[in-house]
Amino acid sequence: MRVSTNVAVAAALAVLTGGVLAGCGLTAPEDDSIVHKRSLVIGVKADQPGLGLKKGDRYEGYDVDVATYVAGKLGVPPERITFRTTPSSEREKALRDGKVDMIFATYSITPKRKTQVTFGGPYYVAHQDTLVREGEKAVTGVRDLKGRRICAVTGSNSWKRVTEERKVAAAPVEAADYGDCLAKLSAGQVDAISTDDLILAGMASTGAAVRMVNAPFTDEKYGVGLRKGDLAGCEAVNRALTEMYQDGKAGELLDRWFARSKLRTVRSVPQFEGCS
Amino acid sequence: MTTTRQPAVPTIRPPAPDRPSSPPPVPARRPSRVTTFVRGHWLRTIPGRLRAYAAAALVAVAVLTVVLTVAVDNARDGVQTIGHDAGPQVVATGTLYFALSDMDAQVADILLIGRERSLGIGYDGSLRRYEQRRAAAGLAAVQAAQLAGNDPKRRKNVQDVLDGLGRYERLVGEAMLLDRQADHEAGKLPANVVTTYRQATDLMKLELLPKAYNLTLDSGATVRQSYESKRSAVLTGRAWVALTGALVLLILLAAQIYLARGFRRLVNPALAAATLLTVGLVAVAFGMLSAQAGHLQRAKEDGFDSVLALSRARAISHSAFADESRFLLDPGRADTYEQVYLDKALSVLYVEPGANKPVNLESYYTRLEEELDDFAANPRTIRFLGFFGDEARQSATGAESVALGQALQGYRTVLRNDRSIRELAARNDRAGAIRLRMGRDRGAIRDFDAYDAALVKLSDAHHAAFTRAIADADGGLGGWRAVPPAGAAVIAVLVLAGLRPRLAEFR
């Protein structure tokens, strides 16, 4: 008799404690969001002057500074941020595998990428533009590239936007990377480089004798790559970016990295993509 | 007292451990009620047992009532936020973006037609629509300001939009004045009109529209967070209701068994009734909470999300349509406007350009036709992305899928017109391009209006789903303020009624 009631009470207690544990499990659905992280690993480029450039064991550039600002708004101070070089081809995988928590690396938002990555931002809308030698006055827009030699970086799509999408009959000249392009432009081996204006402005700010044409013809939305499904993180990133523009920090950073290039930058918050 | 002085009294040495000191004499006294209770001898008596069962059952029933009330409150809060407060307000702010972008579209049309004031919906028609959109934008801004509440950053955002709107209207006024003075032929705008309009449309595109769009996104985020937390609270509450219900049942069953053995009666009817009532209450509450979680989910995903997404798709479509006008009115920026048109088209409905094909309008026209043919033939093959991709995956059946079919057909026609307009412009037949773009009875405007009407119908279908889900949720919650305490009271009375006569046997 007593045994049976004791068993009943024990069973009830067991069920109840089990319930407490189950209850805790149910109330924390967004635990792996970046908003709960104490430290962050952020993927950046290592070879783009003005945006993400590795110098020794430090990274510098606009992307790096924006990432630091956003991480700060998420409650992670600079000493708890680890930057990691993330080449274009590995960005989706690095996020999926959890190798990086966020990516700030001239990462354009496209409908296709959105199926694999949740994008905060964009933090800047770059535009494809043209860079020419300083004395070159005849080029005022992409159409003027007809008959001229443009730099074609292996694996990049930018030059195709001129020759294939816009059907401007320019002559592509192959180059290994944009550093190579800049050298070829200075040496007179190509007449123009056509790619995102921030990338061009970063190169122009290195002191080369070049000129920004300031005739944009596409929109490239630089987004903050997040693990697919981290909506809370995405919303927090968007709020941080809104603040960055409201408090003038965005303009300050754009000046710091691109003012020398005489690029006309936009100092108003970009239209966000929406978290999905 | 100094440290050197010897103590006057010899120190008392502690008793040796092997010689326990005798306990101090305790006056013979009856142990207190608390002591008796804690010792638990009373539990071994039959009346004690009966009282313990009664107390345990009543406590458990009380806990069940609290848990159930909290769960029902969570469900009610969730329905209130999504269905009645923030949800509809967020949808209302969505019209801000649309109204602003359509204001700029009307200005583009007015400037494009110049002195040929009957082209398109006409000078007066465009102006009237401009005023309507201006009023709608003001109304939506009020909603946005209300949603912003005391949040300073959001308030600043709304304020920035209103400030920018003031500057925009000044620039537009200037452009229209210059335009009237120029008295130009359709599509042949003087440079000063184009320059002033560029300032206005840049302000709209780069500052006003992004801020308006972000406002809706941000307040939508608040609704999403509240939805997530309320829905998970309802589900957690449901688990707790089941657990505490099980506890009440265990206690009642244990009491039943005890009575059956101790008093040689098969069933205590009152306890049995309490047991059945508990089973019923918990089952119904469990079902109701499950249903509420379902209603919330339908209202949020099938209703709120879709309505918001479609209002964005509609706004983007309108501004893309205006980019056709801008493409014609500002040849200096024709390349940019064509690219922007493509970007907007891709965000509304994205198709892969195909292997080694460039992403331009030419490849888009072709691939769009193919993908839509495939989708029409077999609605399960959805390879396209963007707003319509999400929508196609969401609305597979019913009124929504019919409306989606019509919207897609409309979109296809709009893109065919776009192709013709650009081909005419490329052949330097600008007059022909403008005629087609501004054609009202047959031409781009009529087809775009048909597409827009289909979009509105699709959005209405989702809105109806939203209203239905919220009505179901409200209906399901009806009476649940009274049910938990009333049910608990009846169960408690039955428990007491079942145990009291047995207790009476020991008086």
pLDDT digits (tens, 9 = 90+) for A143-173: 899 999 999 988 778 888 888 888 889 999 9
- Answer yes or no: is A204 within a domain: yes
Looking at residue B379, its pLDDT comes to 83
Q: pLDDT band at residue B107, thresholds of 50, 70 and 90?
A: very high
- Answer yes or no: is A7 within a domain: no
Enter the tokens of residue A64.
């790096």
Judge: A160–B358 Cβ closer than 8 Å, yes or no. yes
Distance from CA of B297 to the nearest CA of A (A): 16
Judge: B224–A26 Cβ closer than 8 Å, yes or no. no
Domain CATH code at residue A197: 3.40.190.10
pLDDT average, residue stretch B36-62: 82
Distance from CA of A161 to the nearest CA of B (A): 8
User: Distance (Å, rounded) from C-alpha A172 to C-alpha A192?
Assistant: 10
Q: pLDDT band at residue B467, thresholds of 50, 70 and 90?
A: very high
User: Distance (Å, rounded) from C-alpha A118 to C-alpha A96?
Assistant: 11
pLDDT average, residue stretch B183-192: 87
Residue B148 contacts A, CB cutoff 8 Å: no
Q: How many other β-carbons are positioned within 10 Å of the β-carbon of residue B253?
A: 14
Residue A89 contacts B, CB cutoff 8 Å: no
Residue A217: which of B258, B336, B358 has the nearest Cβ?
B336
The verdict on A105 and A188 lying in the same domain is no
- Answer yes or no: is A108 within a domain: yes
- Answer yes or no: is B32 within a domain: no
The verdict on A138 and A255 lying in the same domain is no
Is the pLDDT reported for residue B2 higher than 60?
no
Residue B156: which of A217, A246, A274 has the nearest Cβ?
A246
B331-371 pLDDT, tens digit each: 888 888 998 899 999 999 999 887 778 888 999 999 999 99
Which domain covers residue B298, as residue numbers? 47-350+385-498
Residue B257: which of A4, A19, A164 has the nearest Cβ?
A4
Bridge partners, residue A118, by sequence: A226
Enter the tokens of residue B311.
């209002």
Asked whether the ipTM of the predicted complex exceeds the cut of 0.85, the reply is no
The verdict on A191 and A54 lying in the same domain is no
User: Distance (Å, rounded) from C-alpha B353 to C-alpha B348?
Assistant: 15
* Helix, coil or strand: residue B55: helix
- Answer yes or no: is A50 within a domain: yes
Higher pLDDT, B38 or A270: A270
The verdict on A80 and A96 lying in the same domain is yes
A182-240 pLDDT, tens digit each: 999 999 999 999 999 999 998 888 888 899 998 888 889 999 999 999 999 999 999 99
Q: pLDDT band at residue A58, thresholds of 50, 70 and 90?
A: very high
- Answer yes or no: is A3 within a domain: no
A-chain CB neighbours of B224 within 8 Å are 231, 235
A-chain CB neighbours of B250 within 8 Å are 8, 11-12, 15
- Chain A residue with the nearest C-alpha to that of B385: A111
Which domain covers residue A241, as residue numbers? 34-126+221-261
Number of domains in chain B: 1
Residue B473 contacts A, CB cutoff 8 Å: no
Enter the tokens of residue A33.
């969001």
Residues 6+ apart with CB under 8 A from B379: B392, B396, B401
Judge: B386–A11 Cβ closer than 8 Å, yes or no. no
The verdict on A111 and A173 lying in the same domain is no
Looking at residue B25, its pLDDT comes to 55
Whose CA is closest to B461, among B382, B406, B383? B406
Looking at residue A3, its pLDDT comes to 44
Range B123-131, long-range pairs (CB < 8 A, 24+ positions): B129/B102, B130/B103, B130/B106
Distance from CA of B236 to the nearest CA of A (A): 6
Judge: A19–B359 Cβ closer than 8 Å, yes or no. no
* Helix, coil or strand: residue B412: helix
Interface of B with A in 376-405 (CB under 8 A): 385-386, 389-390
- Answer yes or no: is A15 within a domain: no
Q: What angle do CA B456, B459, B461 make, to 5 degrees?
A: 110
Residue A35 contacts B, CB cutoff 8 Å: no
Amino acid, res. B337: Y
How would you classify residue B57: left for phi > 0, otherwise alpha for psi between -120 and 50, otherwise beta? alpha
Number of domains in chain A: 2
Sheet holding A58-60, edge to edge: A47-48, A52-55, A58-60
The verdict on A99 and A229 lying in the same domain is yes
- Answer yes or no: is B102 within a domain: yes
Looking at residue B26, its pLDDT comes to 54
Residue B358: which of A164, A268, A270 has the nearest Cβ?
A164
- What is the average pLDDT value for chain B, to the nearest integer? 86
Distance from CA of B2 to the nearest CA of A (A): 58
- Answer yes or no: is B5 within a domain: no
Residue B206: which of A1, A242, A266 has the nearest Cβ?
A266
Residue B109 contacts A, CB cutoff 8 Å: no
Higher pLDDT, B33 or B214: B214
- Answer yes or no: is A26 within a domain: no
The verdict on A227 and A119 lying in the same domain is yes
Helix B444-477 with B398-426: angle, nearest 10 deg: 160
Residues 6+ apart with CB under 8 A from B146: B89
- Answer yes or no: is B445 within a domain: yes
- Answer yes or no: is A236 within a domain: yes
The verdict on A204 and A239 lying in the same domain is no
Is the pLDDT reported for residue A20 higher than 50?
no
